[in-house]
């Protein structure tokens, strides 16, 4: 063997030894750190949330399936302000999950920072979950340049047989207070009955001797829409720019409905008579929940999730004021034949995942959402709480009843403490899809605490009250890129928020009428209302 050959052999042996040392060191390091290494990416959530990136479900994702470490970050404060700030200062790191919005989609695509994704929906061998997304959803998502810039999530797996969804918007009364007034639920079937109850409830006191708040709602979450709906005003869309209702061959926009004014007149009357919570306009969710928990409120209008369903779901009997909440029928208003739609069944995606085009973790992001979007009826439960047999399991058979099987997980999850709940799951069901074949919270197999079933009872009752209907094409009219809706929709919303406060809190009839007149003028001058409606009709005809 020549000297050159001996040197080559020694170098090869040295290289092999170094390589084996490196492999051993990596293996040792991985073992010493407590488990196998996982792919990782950061996911920015477009909503406020309590985050614990060591949650049990996230740990399962990292260590078991799909083997990915998902690091969450939530927005703080105003979502759109934070979105614009982040896009103007370099963008998010890897991926962002936001509620679907024309404003969000436009901001993301115009920033030039997000990746076109259409190719990944046509790779069934590599990404079967992404390839299973119904094409009708993907076709609707194509941008003018032909690209698809987001992964859709939280959609119905079967658009031809959609799940009806939670119906949570209604009227709720404390039956213990109702009993003290000498009235019954049957007495609350008309608006006159509601007013009589509120007057009597105003004289009742809570456990601390303070006079009750007769009626409250969380205006910050749009709860007054329940009252608008009661007056016959459609307040919901299916992703469209504005609530609209068909009337014969024409369409009536929400702010043009005379009942819109009538509803606010009623709220103003209740406000002036001291029967409507004077903090309803300014309260934030936590303050509103505190009032309900403390038993300060006799009647609520709005969404029961805003009231905080946890208040009664953790109860097994009449130990707290929240136990006595019951849902009542929408009260009858004179000259209103049917209530306005406040929930429109829309099988289309409610969320979008955007991916930074410069991410170094593309494979991990795609693999994770391929996992969350597997077309199984139970997949939202799997994403939210882990797979069956880990923290929960079937009682008898798949797609039947289920219960939590991990005692520690259940105790923390159901503690009523948001920080403890966050240690179990990030509640990322919004990253999955759903099916009419099985819905987890209508199949929970535990009979206690009994309060948990009040929520199911509420939603089933509300769903039969007439405020729910299936989406029509006019419910889904979008803003034209570069058009007037895109330009003026934020200001239209500003006008609505500004004047709903002025209308509700007007000191007398004269001030109310002035606020209404100013509202109509602001719609035209600031939001270009007539022009917006014209463009809406053009977009509807073009679809």
CB-CB contact of 146 with 348 (8 Å): no
Residues ≥6 apart with Cβ < 8 Å to 375? 129, 132, 157, 433
Residue 290's pLDDT band, with cuts at 50, 70 and 90, is very high
pLDDT at 30 over 80: no
Same domain, 203 and 121: no
Please give the average per-residue pLDDT across 79-104, as a whole number: 92
Residue 38's pLDDT band, with cuts at 50, 70 and 90, is low
Residue 309 lies in a domain: yes
pLDDT at 22 over 80: no
Same domain, 353 and 208: no
Residue 77's pLDDT band, with cuts at 50, 70 and 90, is confident
pLDDT at 33 over 80: no
CA angle, 190 as apex, 187 and 193 as ends, to 5°?
50
User: How high is the pLDDT of residue 309?
Assistant: 95
What integer best gives the mean pLDDT of the chain?
91
| Structural domain range at position 266 | 169-344+451-476
pTM: 0.69
CA angle, 502 as apex, 496 and 507 as ends, to 5°?
160
Which DSSP string corresponds to 311-326? Answer: HHHT-SSTTSGGGGEE
Q: Which two tokens stand for residue 543?
A: 């679809």
Please give the average per-residue pLDDT across 120-138, as a whole number: 97
Same domain, 222 and 332: yes
Same domain, 316 and 212: yes
**CATH number assigned to the domain comprising residue 111:** 3.40.190.10
Residue 7 lies in a domain: no
Residue 34 lies in a domain: no
Q: Give 454-500 as a 3 state SS string.
A: HHHHHHHHHCCCCCEEECCHHHHCCCCCCCHHHHHHHHHHHHHHHHH
The predicted-structure confidence for 162-210, as pLDDT tens digits, reads as follows: 888 889 999 999 999 999 999 999 999 999 999 999 999 999 999 999 9
Same domain, 465 and 486: no
3-state secondary structure at position 213:
strand
Domain end, chosen from 418, 442, 466, is at 442
Same domain, 339 and 373: no
Same domain, 321 and 457: yes
Same domain, 382 and 246: no
User: How high is the pLDDT of residue 542?
Assistant: 81
Residue 65 lies in a domain: yes
Same domain, 339 and 220: yes
pLDDT at 158 over 70: yes
Same domain, 325 and 256: yes
The predicted-structure confidence for 341-379, as pLDDT tens digits, reads as follows: 999 988 999 999 999 999 999 999 999 999 999 999 999
| Separation of alpha carbons 24 and 378, rounded Å | 41
Same domain, 95 and 59: yes
CA 186 to chain centre: 33
Same domain, 223 and 109: no
| Separation of alpha carbons 24 and 450, rounded Å | 55
Domain count, the chain: 3
């Amino acid at each position: 063997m020549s000297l050159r050959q001996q040197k080559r052999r020694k170098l090869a042996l040295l290289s092999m030894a170094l390589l084996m040392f490196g492999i051993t060191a990596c293996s040792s390091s991985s073992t010493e750190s407590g488990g196998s290494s996982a792919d990782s990416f950061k996911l920015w959530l477009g909503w406020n949330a309590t985050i614990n990136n060591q949650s049990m479900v996230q740990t399962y994702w990292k260590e078991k399936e799909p083997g990915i470490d998902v690091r969450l970050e939530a927005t703080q404060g105003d979502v759109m302000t934070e979105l614009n700030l982040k896009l103007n200062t370099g963008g998010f790191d890897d991926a962002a999950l936001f509620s679907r919005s024309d404003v969000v989609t436009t901001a993301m695509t115009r920033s030039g920072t997000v990746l076109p994704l259409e190719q990944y929906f046509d790779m069934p061998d590599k990404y079967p979950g992404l390839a299973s997304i119904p094409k009708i959803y993907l076709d609707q998502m194509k941008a003018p340049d032909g690209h698809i810039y987001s992964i859709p999530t939280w959609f119905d797996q079967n658009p031809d047989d959609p799940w009806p969804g939670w119906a949570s918007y209604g009227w709720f009364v404390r039956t213990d207070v109702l009993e003290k007034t000498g009235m019954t639920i049957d007495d609350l079937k008309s608006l006159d009955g509601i007013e009589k109850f509120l007057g009597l409830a105003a004289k009742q006191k809570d456990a601390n001797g303070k006079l009750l708040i007769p009626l409250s709602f969380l205006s910050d979450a749009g709860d007054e829409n329940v009252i608008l709906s009661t007056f016959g005003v459609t307040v919901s869309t299916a992703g469209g720019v504005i609530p609209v209702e068909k009337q014969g061959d024409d369409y009536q926009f929400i702010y043009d409905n005379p009942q819109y004014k009538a509803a606010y007149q009623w709220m103003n009357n209740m406000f002036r008579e001291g029967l409507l919570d004077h903090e309803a306009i300014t309260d934030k969710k936590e303050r509103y929940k505190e009032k309900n928990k403390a038993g300060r409120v006799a009647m609520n209008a709005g969404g029961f999730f805003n009231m905080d369903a946890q208040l009664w779901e953790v109860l097994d009997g009449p130990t707290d004021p929240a136990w006595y909440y019951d849902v009542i029928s929408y009260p009858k208003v004179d000259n209103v034949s049917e209530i306005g739609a406040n929930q429109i069944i829309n099988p289309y995606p409610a969320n979008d995942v955007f991916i930074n085009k410069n991410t170094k973790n593309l494979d991990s992001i795609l693999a994770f959402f391929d996992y969350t979007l597997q077309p199984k009826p139970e997949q939202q439960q799997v994403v939210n709480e882990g797979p069956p047999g880990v923290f929960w399991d079937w009682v008898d058979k798949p797609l039947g009843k289920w219960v939590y099987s991990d005692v520690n997980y259940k105790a923390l999850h159901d503690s009523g403490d948001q920080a403890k709940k966050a240690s179990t799951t990030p509640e990322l069901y919004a990253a999955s899809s759903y099916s009419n074949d099985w819905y987890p919270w209508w199949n929970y197999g535990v009979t206690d605490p009994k309060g948990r079933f009040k929520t199911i009872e509420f939603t089933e009752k509300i769903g039969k009250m007439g405020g729910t209907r299936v989406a029509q094409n006019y419910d889904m009219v979008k803003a034209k890129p570069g058009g007037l809706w895109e330009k003026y929709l934020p200001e239209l919303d500003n006008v609505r928020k500004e004047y709903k406060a002025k209308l509700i809190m007007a000191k007398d009839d004269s001030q109310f009428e002035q606020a209404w007149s100013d509202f109509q003028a602001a719609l035209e001058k600031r939001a270009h209302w007539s022009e917006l409606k014209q463009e809406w009709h053009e977009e509807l005809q073009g679809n």
